[in-house]
Amino acid sequence: MNRRSFLTAAAAGLLTQAGALTTPTSPAGASASLAAAGSLALKGDPFTLGVASGDPSTDGFVLWTRLALDPLGGDGRGGMPSRDVDVDWQIAADERFGSVVRSGTATARAGAAHSVHVEVDGLEPGREYFYRFRSQGRLSPAGRTRTAPAGERSLAFAVAACAHYEHGYYTAYRRLAEEEPELVVFLGDYMYEYGPSGYTALAGRVRTHTPGKCATLADYRLRHAQYKSDPDLQLAHATAPWLVAFDDHEIENNWAGSVSSTGAPGFAGRRAHAFRAYYENMPLRRASLQGAVLRVNRRVSWGPLARFHLLDTRQFRDDQACLDGVRAGCDDRLDSGRTLLGPDQWSWLESGLRGSTARWNLLGQQIMMTQRDYKVGPGREVNLDSWDGYAPERTRLLGSLAATSNPVVLTGDAHMHHLADLKTDFDDPDAPVIAKELIASSIASDGDGYRDKAWIAEALSENPHISFIDQRRGYLMARLTPDELSVDYRTLDYISRRGARARTAHRVTIPSTAQARA
């Protein structure tokens, strides 16, 4: 079976069927747990939310699933009983599971919404693996994942963000999966907290959120289950390991640290519920759970070729200056005492950049880093929720990036593709370019895209350091080698109907400058 037929088979659920008939090797403990399942049998398929993997190392990764017989059952527990359930897992070297290399049994705890996170180690570097789960006599769909390489080689990876479920179908996730990236970097707004039509797109909605704005643990669990029920999203997860980090909407629009943007009381509790549900639904390692903190800033290395530095630009930031929004004349944003990353994450990033021996250093982060003037003509209006609201820290960060081998910044949030030059002085045309910022448009947020050439021309002329903008939905498809990073800006013409093709609207090739720096 070649890669393409693995995808087709995974989509059709054929691997589940074939595996059930021909399972060549019983996972350890399978007979005991399957026997126990006889007396406690659940009715139906518990694998309705799919499977996922994430955070590859040279010898492993984390595998994820969450059992739910009835994903949209009203209490957020997916129609599951209030007892723990055993889940067997297998990792194979081949897609037919003829050569199972690791297996075990994990417990899907009722207190964790029957989610399973299995951290696997001891595997070979730089190769593809296949995995699946079994519980209650049922097999999950199979997923494909991989370990990071130990030596230098290439990497094909996708970058995506912002997938509002009501705004359109997830065709972009399907197209991304069909390109078979080795890694997917997801930069936030995986789900949105709004109730039905709480945030509308111009083209209206194609489907409807679960009731109410998310506030309770049950609300967040239910909303994640709704998103995870989407077959295109499931396919994208089953195709490659993901690196995920949240932005604002996984919790609440434009929150900052311990502050709600609405000023409503009880934000600490809401944030705790949202964090818990996020962990339960994502292929994150247990190390992310740090008491009240959900730690998603972390580093993932791809041999000597690349190091991903994933940032958290929400949890540790100071509140937005000047009451947030897109505004002119906010001097507070220039206060050098204000922080976006927080002191601990700042030191972690600084030392990680300084100590990196990787050829490419890729920052995965949520909000626009480049200066962006939204006012046409004289004067300047900036988005105080983005790095423009924390300008001195941006200048310091660019200073650190300048001393790093091949820095590139990957960004989400904007719901439009952008390509920008990052400079310590954006107003000086002669200031050196320190890094490129590649901003991925949205998978679905804001619905059917468009391409307003007059508006784009104005935006580019106001911001000469930005060279490309596209308002259509899409994702980035990147190919990295020691010598260059080549990135296709992929776009879809519509998402209000299924079936749009993905096409390349723009391509940028960034040559390595590591030789010159050495």
Count of residues near Fe ion by CB under 5 A:
3
Strand partners, 504: 490
User: Closer CB to Fe ion, residue 162 or residue 274?
Assistant: 162
Per-residue tokens: 345: 């994450």
User: Closer CB to Fe ion, residue 162 or residue 422?
Assistant: 162
Residue 189 lies near Fe ion (rule: CB under 5 A):
yes
Within 436-475, the residues that bind Fe ion by CB under 5 A are: 445
Within 123-162, the residues that bind Fe ion by CB under 5 A are: 162
Tell me how far, at minimum, the Cβ of 247 lies from Fe ion, in Å. 7
User: Closer CB to Fe ion, residue 118 or residue 162?
Assistant: 162
User: Closer CB to Fe ion, residue 162 or residue 510?
Assistant: 162
Tell me how far, at minimum, the Cβ of 187 lies from Fe ion, in Å. 10
Contact between 333 and 510 under an 8 Å Cβ cutoff? The reply is no
Tell me how far, at minimum, the Cβ of 445 lies from Fe ion, in Å. 5
Tell me how far, at minimum, the Cβ of 497 lies from Fe ion, in Å. 22
Return the ∠ at Cα 397 (arms to 396 and 399), rounded to 5°.
65
Strand partners, 186: 160, 244
User: Which one, of 295, 274, 277, 304, lies nearest residue 406 by Cα?
Assistant: 304
User: Closer CB to Fe ion, residue 306 or residue 369?
Assistant: 369
Binding mask 238-277 for Fe ion (x = CB under 5 A): ----------------------------------------
What 3-state DSSP class applies to 196?
Answer: coil
Q: Which of these segments, 181-189, 250-258, 387-395, 399-407, binds Fe ion (CB under 5 A)? A: 181-189
Within 387-446, the residues that bind Fe ion by CB under 5 A are: 445
Contacts of residue 147, Cβ cutoff 8 Å, sequence gap at least 6? 56, 57, 58, 59, 60, 61, 123, 124, 125, 126, 127, 129
Within 37-66, the residues that bind Fe ion by CB under 5 A are: none
User: Closer CB to Fe ion, residue 56 or residue 389?
Assistant: 389
Within 70-99, the residues that bind Fe ion by CB under 5 A are: none
What is the DSSP code string of 209-243? Answer: PPSS---SHHHHHHHHHHHHT-HHHHHHHHHS-EE
- Give Cα 223 to chain centroid, integer Å: 16
Tell me how far, at minimum, the Cβ of 414 lies from Fe ion, in Å. 8
CA 500 – CA 502 distance, rounded (Å): 7
CA 2 – CA 315 distance, rounded (Å): 42
Strand partners, 89: 104, 133
Tell me how far, at minimum, the Cβ of 27 lies from Fe ion, in Å. 39
Answer left, alpha or beta for residue 38, where phi above 0 means left and psi between -120 and 50 means alpha.
alpha
Tell me how far, at minimum, the Cβ of 441 lies from Fe ion, in Å. 10
Say which residue the tokens 């960004």 belong to. 411
Tell me how far, at minimum, the Cβ of 254 lies from Fe ion, in Å. 10
Tell me how far, at minimum, the Cβ of 438 lies from Fe ion, in Å. 16
User: Closer CB to Fe ion, residue 87 or residue 367?
Assistant: 367
User: Closer CB to Fe ion, residue 358 or residue 492?
Assistant: 492
Q: Which of these segments, 186-194, 262-270, 281-289, 302-310, binds Fe ion (CB under 5 A)? A: 186-194
User: Closer CB to Fe ion, residue 227 or residue 426?
Assistant: 227
CA 136 – CA 152 distance, rounded (Å): 42
CA 358 – CA 354 distance, rounded (Å): 11
Question: What is the contact surface with Fe ion in residues (CB under 5 A)?
Answer: 162, 189, 445
